[in-house]
Amino acid sequence: MKKLGIIPLFLLIFGIAFLVIGYLSGELEAGLIIIFPILIGSGPFTFLGFVFIFLSVVSIFLLQYSYLNKSEENYFGINDSNNKAKQSIKGGGVVFIGPIPIVFGSSRKIAIILLIIAMILFFILFLFGKMV
């Protein structure tokens, strides 16, 4: 079941790749309206990009639902209820307010990784996007 968790990542990568191909072929335009990024396009690459990204989001929800249906012992890989190992959950996120990224995370390492991703996204949007 854990091997299925990589499916949304591959779908997202394929979706972004199709959107990049669509942008390079001229069938996709990117920009900002106030603080919201927009993508406008027509053509097969743009359509496939949006479809793959949509499928990645749907697959994330379906996989989470299947994980929730498992019992707690099977989900955490614990067989003995008296000998539960300490579990730590780490996470974080990035919120863009206009061009300013706000990064938060449960650990310094995650926050730094997300800050690097936020800077990459900012520069991609700055280089290829246009202000509307």
Give the list of residues 6+ apart from residue 61 with CB closer than 8 angstroms, or none. none
Q: Are residues 123 and 105 in the same domain?
A: yes
Give the list of residues 6+ apart from residue 121 with CB closer than 8 angstroms, or none. 94, 96, 101
Confidence of residue 13 (pLDDT cuts 50, 70, 90): very high
Q: Are residues 69 and 115 in the same domain?
A: no
Q: Are residues 77 and 93 in the same domain?
A: no
Q: Are residues 98 and 40 in the same domain?
A: no
Q: Are residues 73 and 15 in the same domain?
A: yes
pTM: 0.50
Q: Provide the number of structural domains found in the chain.
A: 2
Q: Are residues 75 and 93 in the same domain?
A: no
81 vs 62 pLDDT, higher one: 62
Q: Are residues 19 and 73 in the same domain?
A: yes
Tell me the pLDDT tens digit for each residue of 63-103: 776 665 554 545 455 554 555 556 677 788 888 887 778 88
Q: Which domain holds residue 44?
A: 1-81
- Helix, strand, or coil (residue 110): helix
